[in-house]
Chains A and B, each alone.
Chain A
Amino acid sequence: MKRRIPPTTDVMTNELIIIRAIDVIDQNDPIPESGHKLAKLVIEKALRSKVSVLISFKGLRGVPSSFFHPLLQDLLEKLGAQWLMNDVNFEFESDAQKSVFDRSRKAISNPPPR
Chain B
Amino acid sequence: MATLHFNLDDSVASLKRAIQVVEPEVATETLELIDLKACRYLGPLAATYIASVWLSARSKPQVMLPTEPPALAAFCRFSGLAQLIARGEAPDPSNAKSETIPISTTSDAWNAYVPIGKLVHRHVGILDADFEESLRLCVHEVFQNISDHSKSGIGGKFCARYMNQKRHVRVAIADRGLGIQATLHTRYPEITDAQTALRRVIAGNYSAQSHTRNLGQGLSNLARTVENCGGQLVIFTQDACARLDRRRNWSFEGLGAKIVGTIVYFELPVDEAPDSPNN
Pair A96/B134 contact, Cβ less than 8 Å: yes
Interface size on B (CB < 8 Å)?
37
Q: Is the CB of B132 within 8 A of A108?
A: no
Tell whether, in the assembled complex, residue B217 and residue A65 are in contact, meaning their CB atoms are under 8 Å apart.
yes
Contact A28 to B137, CB < 8 A, known contacts A103-B221, A108-B215: no
Cα distance A30–B213 in the bound complex, in angstroms: 14
Give Cα A35 to B133, complex, Å.
19
Interface residues in B187-230 by Cβ distance below 8 A to A read 187, 204-207, 209, 211, 213-218, 220-221, 224-225, 228
Chain B residue with the shortest CB-CB distance to A61: B136
Residues A70 and B213 in contact, CB atoms below 8 Å apart: yes
Residues of A within 8 A of B205 (CB): 107, 110-113
B29 sits at the interface (CB 8 A): no
A112 surroundings in chain B (CB, below 8 A): 187, 205-207, 209, 214-216
| CB contact between A31 and one of B135, B140, B228 (< 8 Å): that residue | B140
Q: Which chain B residue lies CB-closest to A73? A: B213
A20 within 8 A of B: no
Contact A62 B113 (CB under 8 A): yes
B221: contacting residue among A28, A64, A95, A113, CB under 8 A: A64
The yes or no answer to B57 lying at the interface (CB within 8 A) is: no
Indicate whether A91 reaches chain B with its CB closer than 8 angstroms.
no
Beta-carbon contacts of B106-144 to A below 8 Å, as 1s and 0s? 001111010000000000000001101111110111001
The secondary structure that dominates the B interface is helix
**Min CB–CB distance B268 → chain A (angstroms):** 12
Asked whether B141 lies within 8 Å of A65 as measured between CB atoms, the reply is: yes
Is A86 close to B, CB under 8 A? Answer: no
Interchain CB contact (< 8 A) of A95 among B108, B110, B130: B130
The listed residue (B110, B130, B217) touching A69 by CB distance below 8 A is B217
Could you tell me the distance between the alpha carbons of A28 and B106 in the complex, rounded to whole angstroms?
A: 12
| Complex interface: chain A residues within 8 A of B83 (CB) | none
A97 and B141: CB pair below 8 A? no
Within 8 A of B (CB), among A20-37: 27-28, 30-32, 34-35
Q: Could you tell me the distance in whole angstroms from the C-beta of A56 to the nearest C-beta in chain B?
A: 16
Docked-complex contact B213 and A32, CB < 8 angstroms: yes
A72-114: CB near B (< 8 Å → 1, else 0) gives 0100000000000000000001111101100110011011111
Is residue B148 within 8 Å, beta carbon to beta carbon, of the partner chain?
Answer: yes
Does B147 belong to the interface (CB within 8 Å)? yes
Task: For A27, list chain B residues within 8 Å (CB).
Answer: 108, 110-111
Measured in the bound complex, the distance between the Cα atoms of B275 and A29 in whole Å is 35
> Which residues of A are in contact with B by a Cβ distance under 8 Å?
27-28, 30-32, 34-35, 61-66, 69-70, 73, 93-97, 99-100, 103-104, 107-108, 110-114
Q: For the A-B complex with A103-B221, A110-B205 known, give 13 more contacts whose Cβ atoms are closer than 8 Å.
A: A27-B110, A61-B132, A62-B137, A62-B139, A63-B140, A64-B109, A69-B215, A100-B137, A100-B217, A103-B220, A107-B215, A112-B205, A112-B216
Query: Mind listing 21 A-B residue pairs with CB under 8 Å?
Result: A27-B111, A32-B144, A32-B148, A34-B110, A64-B109, A64-B144, A65-B215, A65-B221, A66-B144, A66-B214, A69-B214, A69-B215, A94-B130, A95-B130, A96-B130, A96-B134, A96-B225, A97-B133, A107-B205, A107-B215, A114-B187
- Pairs of residues from A and B, 8 with the lowest C-beta to C-beta distance, nearest first: A62-B136, A65-B217, A107-B215, A70-B213, A64-B140, A27-B110, A66-B144, A96-B133
